[in-house]
Structure 1
Amino acid sequence: MYKSRLALAVAVGVLAQQAGAAGFIEDSKASISSRTMYYNADNREGGADQRESAQGFKLDYASGFTPGTIGIGFDAQALWGIHLDGGRGHRPNANNTFFPSDSDGSAVDEWSRIGGNFKARISKTEGRLGSALAPNLPILVANDSRLLPQTFDGGIVTSKEIDNLTFTAGQLEHAYGRASSNRTGLAVSGGTQDSNQFRFGGAAWKVTKDLTLQYYYSNLENYYTQNFLGLVHVLPISTEQSFKTDLRYFDSRSDGKNGQTGYFFDNNGGFAKNANEVDNKTWSAMFTYTLGGHAFLLGHQQVGDDGGFVWLNQGSVRGRNGSLEGAGGSSFYLFTDSMVNQFARAGENTTFGQYSYDFARLGAPGLKASISYLSGDDIKNKSGNGDYSEWERDMRVDYLFQDGVLKGFGATVRHGAYRGSGESVADQDQTRLIFNYTYSFL
């Protein structure tokens, strides 16, 4: 943490010399965001329940670029979380992913971290290097489903030199958990050894205004390599109707020391053809029909029989103080990454659907609601049987004030119910109440 703050101070000092340059200040943006969150996880099989609430603040600053052939700039981010109900209370364990834990398992009163990215731009190519990176790519999706966001340190380059073609490449070395002040190495589910090298590259080609093709490659050293192919097509039917097709395919393989002590993968609690090793092919097809304010989504996903789907997950990696300290919690680029469960075990076939409605059509702009249902079966347990199944139902309502004193203030209510059979995640009902507000002052 000390080194990251020192690097941040040095970068700010260097860039301060350019502060008078046109563009650096004039194009700067700054905002402060507030998130109040109540989290309730009701374990239906007798396990420890969880009920907590907290207040989070996020300060974001993004400079413009200095003039010249090479424009330089700097982005900074400060995070601060405050626990609103102290003590152990309804807090099931000391390795929580909602808020950092003290030595006795209770939540700390508060926690914070600060980070920043140095950035440079040449023509239509931009590079960022720092500790506040939040990628949103098919091979890595930064998680922001709790009080404060997950971030990474490393470097990312994005180039749009060729019209309709976006190239992205980079290397990440550490992760900052959504409930942690400190960074950890990178790993997968069950892996306890750090990998400090996640390399990736790929391209998104907008073939026409309605068709986009994607290819990405990633490699988490000593854990896995992964290839991704994607296709997104939107068919305009009329001014009020469209039909969207979204196809995704992942091919993941073992790399380096994967399967050895610490470098194993627990296959999301399911079967593996080669014990503790990554070996998976997963495809997903989603179709969405939009009619006015209505959106109907239907899709299917199939996880290969040889092992579970794999993605970056630091839940078993310990920080510098030897504690898990909230490093867990991650996202991936499939629809089945739902509120409670992931539907990503070996052999699993999942059919899913969602209905959503935008109430702006009824004169209530800012109000949206959705309900989704996922049903997975043919799940292979650790012995290779395929007799297990699971389902989840999620509901969500969002409202964002459009004008007046409360403009920019939003509220979200989410509720999810999960049930499974056999060797599965424990049955759980989960409720989240979230209040968000963002104020931009530059």
Structure 2
Amino acid sequence: MKRSKWSILALAITAATSQLAYAAEVANDDSKDIGPELLAQGLSGSSQAQSTGFIEGSDLTLLSRNMAYYKNFRNTDPQSQNYRNEWAQAEMLTFTSGYTQGTVGFGVDAFANGAVRLNSGGGTGGSSILPANGSHCAENDAGETVSCQGQDGYGMVGGAVKMRISETELKAGDLNPQSPVFGTWDGYLMPAHTNGLMFSSNEIKDLALQGGHFTSGNSENSTNRSGNLGTTYGYTRVDSANYIGGDYSFSEDLSGGLHAADFEDVWHQYYADLYHHWALGEETSLLTSLNYYKTDDAGDSRAGKINNDSFSAALALTTGAHTFTFAHQRINGDTPFDYLGISGFSGADNAANGANPLSAYNGGGSIWLANSSQWCDFNAPGEKSYKLQYDLDASSLGIPGLSFMTRYVTGKDADGTGADAAGAYGWENEVRNGEEWERDIQVAYVVQDGTAKGLSFKLRQATYRGNSDANINAGADNEEVRLITEYPLDIL
């Protein structure tokens, strides 16, 4: 029997609110008729009971973000695009209301985002910074579209309504869920959103619950809030997605989580993690993290047969200002590890977009494997990868606000010959012995005081190389540079 799309969410809300019922019951053990007064007594110490009001608890912020993006492809066909070069400025105004007072509080979150193009030629677009301008595109000798100039400007206004009881919140509208099985991303000029409803609850001490139901969204370079949800590597449209999960802190040093998602007629995905912090001295500690995903096809299996078990393990040793990380990641199964993608297109027109790189699903933020990097996810079927990373926090060296990171990830043994040839991952059949590596470098600085306090600069450089088989999964060899400047301003 096919489970109702709302059943998972209903189960989650029931679990999250069970503590509310208990709080009301203990207010009067002899009463079976629990009214609003008793409920209010049970919630007297909650965040909602301490609400200062819709306007009094509100915030209005403006985030200015400037991004310059350059990517040089190293082994592309002469008929393909060989580099991308885009530069744009965005202004993002966000209003977050407080909650009305009372046992049940109501509020609104709203945003107004806008961006302008500073540079993007007809043959240099496609970086996901700007939406493509279809009237200014470059073609190869065969008449195929290679890239389109970014639009001169674009913007989007949206928001969500919200309700809170005690420590439980329910929101509906344009949202930014952050779950390992369903999450948006904000790594380019403006953030992506998904449209639906979600809840979060902290009623039970040390336990954080969340869940949601979504049917559409807008990618980071689109203003179409009715854009299709889909799969990043399988290019498969998803009519609706549900997720639920919880994270529990067993102690100050040990925490873990369990999460699950249902992408209608595509997959069931399950996730578990465990984090342990071990203090080895006054300035020395070891963080151990374990992450595991299991993904299987579900319902009508619109993406074909899916079987994937993926895990990563990482050790991060911190001593003073320095952190050294070693991680191992492994993808088991005939299909790649895949995750949420969002398209700028709506409806059935995404059916043919798998062959068009300008119309693919932009990846979301729901890949929590240790070796997913700036360009490559190291997620091909059968792939084994290893990471070495060094981080420097220069605050303890007398330069507060300055940080540095460099990492090297190498993967091998990618083999997609077992993928369902008739499914969405049939193209992986050509991957037989994929090998690849990526090197990332980042320097960041945040102004600590004065008029420009909060102004930040990030310079990111990535170099990716792979053999021809690995390029099928990850894309062409390239060198990428991103320069990101941000300035947050608190208005209210």
TM-score scaled by length of structure 1: 0.87
Correspondence list, 1:286-435, <5 A: 286-314=314-342, 318-319=345-346, 328-331=362-365, 332-381=367-416, 382-383=428-429, 386-423=432-469, 424=471, 425-435=475-485
Quote the sequence identity (%): 30
SS at match of 2:390: strand
8 Å CA contact retained: 1:390, 1:419 = yes
Range 333-342 or range 380-389, more displaced: 380-389
Confirm whether residue 243 of structure 1 aligns to residue 282 of structure 2.
no
Q: Distance in 2 between matches of 1:383 and 1:83?
A: 39
Range 235-244 or range 395-404, more displaced: 235-244
Q: Distance in 2 between matches of 1:243 and 1:191?
A: 37
Q: 2:86 is aligned with what amino acid? A: E
Shift, 1:30, TM fit: 1.1
8 Å CA contact retained: 1:178, 1:327 = no
Structure 1: give runs of 5+ residues left out of the alignment: 1-20, 265-275
Confirm whether residue 257 of structure 1 aligns to residue 300 of structure 2.
yes
8 Å CA contact retained: 1:278, 1:310 = no
Confirm whether residue 42 of structure 1 aligns to residue 68 of structure 2.
no
Confirm whether residue 206 of structure 1 aligns to residue 249 of structure 2.
yes
Residues 9-51 of structure 1: per-residue CA shift (max 9 Å, x gap): xxxxxxxxxxxx9521111111000111100010011442001
8 Å CA contact retained: 1:284, 1:299 = yes
Confirm whether residue 277 of structure 1 aligns to residue 305 of structure 2.
yes
Q: Distance in 2 between matches of 1:123 and 1:371?
A: 43
Confirm whether residue 182 of structure 1 aligns to residue 212 of structure 2.
no
Q: Distance in 1 between matches of 2:103 and 2:293?
A: 39
Shift, 1:257, TM fit: 2.4
Q: Distance in 2 between matches of 1:189 and 1:378?
A: 22
Structure 2: give runs of 5+ residues left out of the alignment: 1-50, 136-147, 351-357, 417-427
8 Å CA contact retained: 2:308, 2:331 = yes
Range 233-242 or range 33-42, more displaced: 233-242
| Match of residue 119 from structure 1 | 162
8 Å CA contact retained: 1:124, 1:159 = yes
| Match of residue 82 from structure 1 | 116
Which structure has the larger Rg? 2
Residues 383-435 of structure 1: per-residue CA shift (max 9 Å, x gap): 47652210000000000000112111100000000000132121100000111
SS at match of 1:238: coil
Shift, 1:327, TM fit: 5.3
Range 280-289 or range 186-195, more displaced: 186-195
**Alignment length, in residue pairs?**
402
Correspondence list, 1:55-94, <5 A: 55-91=89-125
8 Å CA contact retained: 2:66, 2:189 = yes
Residues 369-394 of structure 1: per-residue CA shift (max 9 Å, x gap): 00011000011143476522100000
Equivalent of 1:100 in 117, 122, 131 = 131
| Match of residue 166 from structure 1 | 208
Range 305-314 or range 292-301, more displaced: 305-314
Q: 1:234 is aligned with what amino acid? A: H
Cα–Cα, structure 1 residues 357 and 193, in superposed 2: closer, same or farther, change >3 Å?
closer
